[in-house]
Amino acid sequence: MRLFDDYYCNEKMIKKNTEEQYINAMFSLLQWAKVHADGLDRPRWLAASSPTLPRFWLSDFPALVKLKGQDYPLPTHLFFFFFYPISLITPPHKSFAMFRARVCTITSTTHTLAARAMSLRLYSTRNPLFEKILIANRGEIACRVMRTAKDLGIKTVAVYSEADMNAQHVKMADEAFLIGPPPSAESYLSIDKILKVARMAGAQAIHPGYGFLSENAEFADRVKDEKLEFIGPSGDAMRSMGSKSESKYIMEDAGVPVVPGYHGENQEVGFLKEQAAKIGYPVLIKAVKGGGGKGMRIVWSPSEFEEMLESSKRESIKSFGDDKVLVEKYLERPRHVEVQVFADKHDNCVHLFERDCSVQRRHQKVVEEAPGPGLTSEIRNLLGEKAVAAARAVGYENAGTVEFIMDNVDKKFYFMEMNTRLQVEHPVTEMVTQTDLVRWQLEVAAGNPLPMTQDQLKLHGHAFEARIYAENPSNHFLPDTGNLFSVKTPNASPDVRLETGFIQGDQITVHYDPMIAKLIVHGQDRNDALRRFRRALEQYQVVGPHTNIEFIKRVASHPEFIKGEVETGFIQQFEKDLLPPPSAPNAETLAVAANAIRLKELADVQINSHDPHSPWTSMRQAFRVNTKDSQKFTFNVDKENPYSITITPSKQAGLVDIQVVNDATKETIKSFTDVESHWDEEGQLVSSIDGKKTKSNVVLRGDQLTVFDDYGRTEAHLATPAYIVASAKGADSAGSVKTPMPCKISQVLVTPGQTIEKGQTLIVLEAMKMEHVIKAPATGTISEVLYKVGDLVEENQSLVTFADDQ
């Protein structure tokens, strides 16, 4: 027998072949078919019905064989010794592949092989996936689920609140339904509304995402009652794992290590204090139904136990309506290590290795990585075994995460809780296992076996994930809101992935979680991944609300993080390094920023000078200057330190000289000569300055300037020009306000007779494709408004007059 490159066999008669040789040949060919049967994740084949075939053959490859449209129980002397795919077809109720096979007949006399071609249909036992699913969530997780669904040809249904009417998940879905006003309780947490939409849309299953209703046992039960599939675990599994005390009893019975402590019903103060003494201080008091750090208190000595217990109970009753607590040993150098598990309806359960989520603020994760740094293979295997045992203990199905707290000294780990949903940080696991966990969820919910066995799952390199939040790290990580005015992201690649539900121009509102996106980066090992991670963070540039990007960059560059020495107290321990006070801006950054504004003005003037109706045609020079030979810009980086940047034409045509002065000290910080700058195709400013070539992203929003360059992110405000200040005729009396340049009236915010306060916005001008806000130089009363919206106004014209002028 001879096989050609196209996997076809020759027509020659083959003599003296034993049955064992045929069995071996068929086994090899069937293995080939498993690999090449694209679309059949776990095809199970029956090559023949011969009783002489080994039993494992019959059990491992059960399938229905159709020959010319009829069931064909092959006789003992028939074997397939090769087949190859002709086409793949997916009928409504069964997935199958068509194959052409060579059926070989063994004669009892000559033991020769005669081949003839026939067509076979081999049916797999795989169930079809859903035609349509509803995603009961919003933001990046809704978009994430939709991407996989669309890849699989599954239609998607979105739900949205009034605040999310223009959200990306709404635009991405095949259908979208409004379910209520912005408050979550009236929209994304409304079980009745979501189920009503599912019925109206004809969805067959509901994916809960994470957060909102994802771990609501009642919701899971109600979905099942509607004869829909819940793409997640059962309500019973959620209830078992939802109580910290009950889940710990279950884990103890399953042989999963738990933190030494008391989880019982006796809540008497004296009894709990006795238990704390037995455990040994320090101890941790935790609300039984707690989460997010609420109701959690660290007790260092017996003298403070009662005070901390009372405080924990007060907070618990307010947050959860239950003041029951548990007392556990407090680990002073803990790590947060969790294991991704997956189980199907066929009693298969696997782990997909661990993630380290120790970098946290306010008990919430910020940076995650997989696998966990510094863990031996023995610890890794044990973590996986115990996580699978935890899942099996509650009859778990679908995706889940078993969270452990690990003592970073002896590497012993203890069960904390199980998250009965897909985690925010699941992409790092996908990167290192080369899987699509949302697809796994869909397969399992459809009743199919897990796509891979434990032996098939392998680790591939290392991955990091950063949660990009709209928040201000310098102000206790408080969330921020606002319009995403400018967004530049790293280019996507097999090793760089961005999961987001927002794009440039979208609004971050007060109604929901402030997470903008997740940045996931993969590398061959931890050092490789970390280098790529830092580079991707540099390329992620957002102007609008505050973000934590600069903070995460400092985390990723910290020596202890680079060494892999991460614990849950990492941010608090290195707070001074990670949250340093503002530093003085780099002179080169200020010089480049000023030159960028000059170039924008110049470009706009050149464009508008050809329009006879444009106010720019009245200008005597190619661009407006403060004097005949120079332009001067004043930036306020902070209240105490304004900087003046003066740009003067150089002796060489097309080049400029730039001087940067600290106005507070009158000191010239640095002077640059023969500077050349231009915009590249990507909108970056390319500058030849100080003997080198640099690239900068300069964003001007009103009077706010943001620069991204080799020195990081720099923010400054354009100071109020002297012409506005000079227009005031006294500290307490009104004057007149004049146009600083030819412009168009964009907004008029005052009316005649209106009393205004110093600093109040009067008029908004549009010039140089930028808005300029004109504010009142002093308190007074408006007498006249001299222009209306849309008027074109020349330079140095009064915009309003004040009553005191008449």
What's the pLDDT tens digit per position in 548-602? 999 999 999 999 999 998 999 999 999 999 999 988 999 999 999 999 999 988 8
Can you list the residues of the chain whose pLDDT is less than 70?
Answer: 1-125, 290-292, 604-629, 639-640, 720-736, 767-771, 804-806
Gyration radius of the chain's alpha carbons? 34
Query: Is 710 part of any domain?
Result: yes
Catalytic residue among 421, 467, 497, 532: 421
- Identify the CATH number of the domain in which residue 145 sits: 3.40.50.20
The amino acid occupying position 604 is D
CA-CA distance, 557 to 561, in Å (whole number)?
Answer: 7
CA-CA distance, 752 to 442, in Å (whole number)?
Answer: 65
CA-CA distance, 679 to 346, in Å (whole number)?
Answer: 60
- Asked whether residue 598 falls in the same domain as residue 717, the answer is yes
pLDDT tens for each residue of 667-722:
999 999 999 999 999 999 999 999 999 999 999 988 889 999 999 999 998 876 55
CA-CA distance, 480 to 88, in Å (whole number)?
Answer: 51
pLDDT of residue 316: 86
Phi, psi at residue 472, to the nearest 5°? -115, 100
Residue 306's closest CA among 255, 270, 332?
A: 270
Q: Do residues 429 and 369 lie in contact, with contact meaning Cβ atoms separated by under 8 Å?
A: no
- Asked whether residue 737 falls in the same domain as residue 705, the answer is no
Q: What is the pTM of this model?
A: 0.73
Residue 359's closest CA among 341, 372, 348?
A: 372
- Asked whether residue 721 falls in the same domain as residue 737, the answer is no
Q: How many CB atoms lie within 10 A of CB 52?
A: 11
pLDDT of residue 779: 87
For residue 574, count CB atoms less than 10 angstroms from its CB and return exposed for 0-12, middle for 13-18, buried for 19 or more.
middle
In the 8-state DSSP scheme, what is residue 490?
P
The Cα-based distances of 706 to 539, 635, 663, 741 in angstroms read 14, 11, 20, 23
First and final CA of the chain: distance in angstroms?
A: 110
- Asked whether residue 649 falls in the same domain as residue 612, the answer is yes
Domain boundary among 231, 246, 270: 231
pLDDT of residue 94: 33
CA-CA distance, 400 to 605, in Å (whole number)?
Answer: 60
Write the CB contacts of 256 (distance below 8 Å, at least 6 apart in sequence): 386, 389, 390, 393, 415
Query: Is 219 part of any domain?
Result: yes
Structure-block tokens of residue 660: 């940067």
DSSP-derived 3-state class of residue 799:
strand
**Element containing residue 67 per DSSP (H, E):** strand 64-67
CA-CA distance, 692 to 611, in Å (whole number)?
Answer: 38
Instruction: Based on the residue annotation, tell me whether 126 is a catalytic residue of this protein.
Output: no
Query: Is 687 part of any domain?
Result: yes
Crossing angle of helices 235-242/217-225, nearest 10°? 170
- What dihedral angle (degrees, nearest 10) is formed by the CA atoms of 605, 607, 608, 611? 150
Query: Is 237 part of any domain?
Result: no
- Identify the CATH number of the domain in which residue 623 sits: 3.30.700
- Asked whether residue 753 falls in the same domain as residue 786, the answer is yes
pLDDT of residue 761: 87
- Identify the CATH number of the domain in which residue 511 sits: 3.30.470.20
Structure-block tokens of residue 793: 């106004």
- Asked whether residue 617 falls in the same domain as residue 492, the answer is no
The Cα-based distances of 566 to 251, 337, 382, 429 in angstroms read 27, 11, 21, 19
Phi, psi at residue 719, to the nearest 5°? -70, 155
Domain boundary among 578, 595, 624: 578
CA-CA distance, 337 to 317, in Å (whole number)?
Answer: 29
Query: Is 77 part of any domain?
Result: no
Residue linked to tokens 């730039």 = 658
Domain boundary among 708, 725, 742: 725
CA-CA distance, 254 to 743, in Å (whole number)?
Answer: 75
- Asked whether residue 690 falls in the same domain as residue 647, the answer is yes
CA-CA distance, 322 to 313, in Å (whole number)?
Answer: 8
- Asked whether residue 753 falls in the same domain as residue 627, the answer is no
Residue linked to tokens 């222009």 = 787
Omega within 30 of 0 (cis) for the link into 208 = no
What is the number of helices (H) and of strands (E) in the chain?
20, 44
Residue 404's closest CA among 436, 433, 375?
A: 375
Query: Is 600 part of any domain?
Result: yes
Q: Strand (E) positions, 423-490?
A: 462-469, 471-472, 478-479, 482-483, 486-488
Number of alpha carbons in the 13 Å side-chain half-sphere of residue 498: 18
Residues in the chain: 806
Query: Is 182 part of any domain?
Result: yes
pLDDT of residue 770: 59
Query: Is 513 part of any domain?
Result: yes
Write the CB contacts of 701 (distance below 8 Å, at least 6 apart in sequence): 485, 486, 543
- Asked whether residue 751 falls in the same domain as residue 714, the answer is no
- Asked whether residue 601 falls in the same domain as residue 707, the answer is yes
Omega within 30 of 0 (cis) for the link into 371 = yes
- Asked whether residue 514 falls in the same domain as residue 596, the answer is no
Q: Do residues 261 and 327 lie in contact, with contact meaning Cβ atoms separated by under 8 Å?
A: yes
- Asked whether residue 776 falls in the same domain as residue 712, the answer is no
Output the DSSP codes for 627-654: SSS-EEEEEEEETTEEEEEEEEE-SSTT
Q: What share of the chain is helix, strand, coil (3-state, %, to 5)?
A: 30, 35, 40
Output the DSSP codes for 558-588: -HHHHTT---TTHHHHTHHHHSPPP-PPPHH
Residue 213's closest CA among 137, 321, 132, 320?
A: 137
Residue linked to tokens 């095949």 = 174
Structure-block tokens of residue 643: 């900087």
CA-CA distance, 495 to 491, in Å (whole number)?
Answer: 10
Q: How many CB atoms lie within 10 A of CB 443?
A: 23
Sign of the torsion angle spanned by Cα atoms 603, 608, 609, 615: negative
Beta strand 743-748 with 761-767 is antiparallel
- Provide the residue range defining the domain that includes 137: 132-231
For residue 229, count CB atoms less than 10 angstroms from its CB and return exposed for 0-12, middle for 13-18, buried for 19 or more.
buried
**Element containing residue 595 per DSSP (H, E):** helix 587-608
DSSP H helical ranges for 609-705:
none
Q: Please tell me the total count of domains within the chain.
A: 4
Q: What angle do CA 270, 275, 280 make, to 5 degrees?
A: 125
Q: Do residues 715 and 701 lie in contact, with contact meaning Cβ atoms separated by under 8 Å?
A: no
Residue 141's closest CA among 479, 515, 434, 510?
A: 515
Beta strand 205-207 with 132-135 is parallel
Q: Do residues 664 and 642 lie in contact, with contact meaning Cβ atoms separated by under 8 Å?
A: yes
pLDDT of residue 614: 52
